[in-house]
A and B are shown apart, each in its own frame.
Chain A
Amino acid sequence: MTDFIIIDDDPINNLICTRIIEISKAEANVKSYTNPEIALVEMRENYCKDNANEVVVFLDINMHELSGWEVLDQFNSFPEHVKQLFRIFILSSSVDSLDQQKARNNPYVMRYIAKPLSMAIMHQLLSEI
């Protein structure tokens, strides 16, 4: 089983992602957060326990409370065995090459995806993880 977490302060994006994930993987457990601080707290809580599922995260960059980069900084302090459960994808509307570069350079980021999340990208992603 793989869980899905969407962290983005834009609820419309979260709606689109949730629907796309649900269609691609009917039984998936999807959670979305518009507040990255709450997401971090719950991620730490829910995935510290034994037998926790692997989890795919779609993380936005430009958010008010914390940027995606700041979320990744805090994620860095998670226990090692928890970190290993996570597959983090940056999902941003930005088409700025600097952001893409920064994503590539971050050890926790699997890939940079330009919004919107589509069925095609989702299928490809499911075959990778």
Chain B
Amino acid sequence: MKKLISLVLALVMALSLVACSSTNNQANNGNASNNGGNASDDGGDAAGQLDTDNPIKIGYLAWASGADAYMGLVAIAALEDRIEEINANGGLLGREVQLIWYDISADFSESVNATNKLINQDQVDAIIGPDGSPFAITLGSIVEEAQVPLLPNCGNAEVTINDDGSTKPYVFRVAPQNALTSITMAHYAYNEMGVRTVATLSESTNISTVEAVDEFVKEFEALGGEIVAQESYMLNDTEFRAQITTIAQAEPEYVYMPAAAYKEVCNFAIQLSDMGYSDSIKILGTDGWYNPDALAVAGDALDGCVVVSALDMNSENIAPMVEEFAEKHADLNASLHLYALYAVNALQFLEYAITTAGSTDGPAIKQALEETTGVEMITGGSWYFDEHHDPVGPEFTILSIEGGEAVSLGVYSVEQ
């Protein structure tokens, strides 16, 4: 029996090795056509003739398993909803739109493998994501060679810029740069809130939080403010009381914490309030972690916290989307978050570019994206790309958290 099972196991392994590429191909096609099939069922009646044989394929690099799986799973659901809508309205150029997503969370090299797979095997017309900078930085040359536009929703400068300062031709960022977010926060804190002493807290090996803190410190000190303490924590940390005690001794008014995930901020805020510092020290945050779920977890511990975000979750455009999403995707146990909205905006850029260019040709889409002077986003505002392929149009909203609710204090931009 044992031998038999091991023989079967070995055979299955061997077969899947031999048929590695072909099975994958079939499986994916099957999967994609399933998704598409559903969508076209809905759309078939409305639009009449939707070209389902020759679909427009959009790839998405998702962070869909592991500790922060909600990042990708929510974005996938949001993108699929949007694509369903597009197909119900007759698709793009009369063709059906399909989303093909791959998980990239198991290892660093996965973003390269998944991109190669999307380009080579699925022959996608454009790729959205990934939402993490270390996974996006390396993709510039791959998509350039294949002439497939990539629209990552992450914030590091190097995602769109090469070391020599040139712009990566096929990469278009759809989220604000870390530096811009930090600078805006520094200016708002110094000029509008009158804050003079700030401590910083970053995740020691996380590229995004380290960059964000560096930029904040530079800008805030240039403005004349004082950074009284710089503390950090490790990946997967939940215990912050040692840092809090040190920070409290330095007596800052605020702590700038651009965390990559909201659980760290929740734990930090809860411990801050437990130790009795919640009245004297508050958090300055970024959209890197701002998520409606954070407020639910931390409760009133986050009160008084000020967050800078490129999208206003309370706006008349977005608030209904969040509610609708919560109703439709209750099984995900996670709210619609900013990074999913950035991905949806990327999809809108692609809709615009494909319709304008009249083709799904990589260079044509790229040209349309470069030449656009503004695409109306369902999240509000009109966005376009500057010469470095960074988005222009996202307006930083300042949110203040009061009584467990985020209240918008209005739009703020740094005067140049």
Q: Are A and B interaction partners?
A: no
